[in-house]
Structure 1
Amino acid sequence: MAEKHLQKMVRQVEIKSDGDVFHEILKSRPHHLSDMSPTVVQNVELLEGEFGTVGSIVMFNYNQDGKEKVVKHEILAIDEEKKSVSYKAIEGDLRELYKTFIITIHVDTDGENNLVTWTFDYEKLKEDVEDPNSVMDLLVAMTKDIENHHLK
């Protein structure tokens, strides 16, 4: 990556539900997230391209710390072998705080133990912008919601 001032934040969540299904949802069916995690995700809309394809633009309406937020993401990369998807925020609330904000979701599947890894690569617009801990907490909560939805 050309951006040299990027900071990194990584969090891992163990899930009991199927890791392949989890990857498939975040890659190709994010519009189902509002059914699985309605407290976090209110709506997901495809603006350009097709779900599950690099270069497509997807808009997420979500709730962070009790506030309604919106973000437009471009899918940067999909790696089927590694079960990872990278999204870059191109418009919305995140872009008011961060010059660059890239989210990568990676799923490790090993029998019944599946590990979901969320990675943020970001550059703050100003020094006093806080680290995106609350965004990470949100995604961890959404991960648990998806897991619970599939364990029902």
Structure 2
Amino acid sequence: MALLACKLVAQVAFKAGGDVFHHLLANKPQHLAKATPGFVQGCDLHQGSYGTNGSVIQWKYTLDGKAQTAKVAIQDVDKEKKQIAYKMVEGDLAQLYKNLLVTIHVETKDGVDFVTWTIEYELINPDNPHPLSLLSFFIDFTKQIETHIFGP
């Protein structure tokens, strides 16, 4: 049975500065646990260095009220485009999805910064849910970082 490649995309206006958001995610993800403790509880470097292609980090996070982990490889770091991608290597979501790739891209349109989250994945089982709660997590997470940096 062939797996179906799927994609979910969400874009969030970010008034706290897209450069700051990209820098945090690419180079200082370990600080996200302090900024968003309800979402991220830890980010540990397993191989390489933050913000470098091929490096591996382990996220500890809470999704749908459950503590979860994700070991990801950093891909497609582009400081000029303000883009970074994380490919799932192992973790809780790897039980549901194959080839899970999360790309975060920051762009400015008409003076407003937008953070775009793209989730590309294949369902291991056609009965598995699409990762809509993960997309919602990323939207809320982005808003929480904005509040942390910019204030309410």
Give the TM-score normalised by the residue count of structure 1: 0.94
Paired positions, count: 150
Paired with 2:79 and 2:110, the residues of 1 have a C-alpha distance of 18
Paired with 1:35 and 1:111, the residues of 2 have a C-alpha distance of 31
Paired with 1:121 and 1:9, the residues of 2 have a C-alpha distance of 7
Paired with 1:30 and 1:130, the residues of 2 have a C-alpha distance of 28
| 1:144 lines up with 2:143 in the alignment | yes
| 1:31 lines up with 2:30 in the alignment | yes
1:5-54 Cα distance to aligned partner (Å, 9 max, x none): 42110000011101101000111111011011110001110010000100
| 1:42 lines up with 2:65 in the alignment | no
CA drift of 1:63 comes to 0.3
Paired with 2:110 and 2:20, the residues of 1 have a C-alpha distance of 13
CA contact (8 A) 1:18 1:112 kept: no
Paired with 1:7 and 1:79, the residues of 2 have a C-alpha distance of 24
Give the TM-score normalised by the residue count of structure 2: 0.94
Paired with 1:5 and 1:131, the residues of 2 have a C-alpha distance of 11
The alignment yields a C-alpha RMSD, in angstroms, of: 1.5
1:83-119 Cα distance to aligned partner (Å, 9 max, x none): 1001100000110001110000000135751100000
AA in 1 matched with 2:32: L
Give the alignment of 1:58-77 within 5 angstroms.
58-77=57-76
Q: Which residue of 2 aligns with 1:132?
A: 131
Q: Which 5+ residue runs of structure 1 have no aligned equivalent?
A: none
Q: Which residue of 2 aligns with 1:6?
A: 5
